[in-house]
Amino acid sequence: DVYLVESGGGLIQPGRSLRLSCTASGFTFGDYAMSWVRQAPGKGLEWVSLIRSKGYGGTTQYAASVKGRFTISRDDSKSIAYLQMDSLKTEDTAVYYCTREPLFDLWGQGTLVTVSS
């Protein structure tokens, strides 16, 4: 089976850091770019970050709302994508999904991040 599983979410205080993981299975992870998308409670979907495959330089992109605070990375040997989230704000509270580019045809179940004091 082909699937993605996110982990690492939880309750965190403003200003602290959290690292999310996205573990892939059933496909050649290294061949694909991966993105993180989030959904605040009761809101729509917001693209957060992208990491291209090593074949395309492994370059990264970020939404303006997280640039300078979040860092995306990948470990193709483990089929894992990461999202390091620093200086968290209350407005970062959301379910975070990882998804496979370019079609966003595969999504994980999401992991909830709650930023609150």
Partner 1 sequence: DIVMTQTPLSLSVTPGQPASISCKSSQSLLQSDGKTYLYWYLQKPGQSPQLLIYDVSSRLSGVPDRFSGSGSGTDFTLKISRVEAEDVGVYHCLQGRSLPWTFGQGTKMEIK
Rule CB under 8 A: which residues touch partner 1? 35, 44-47, 50, 61, 63-64, 97, 102-105, 107-110
Q: How far is the CB of 31 from partner 1 (least distance, A)?
A: 18
Q: What's the closest the beta carbon of residue 44 comes to partner 1, in angstroms?
A: 5
Strands, E assignment, the chain: 3-7, 10-12, 18-25, 34-39, 45-51, 60-62, 70-75, 80-85, 94-100, 111-115
Pick the closer one to partner 1 by CB: 14 or 35. Answer: 35
Q: How far is the CB of 95 from partner 1 (least distance, A)?
A: 9
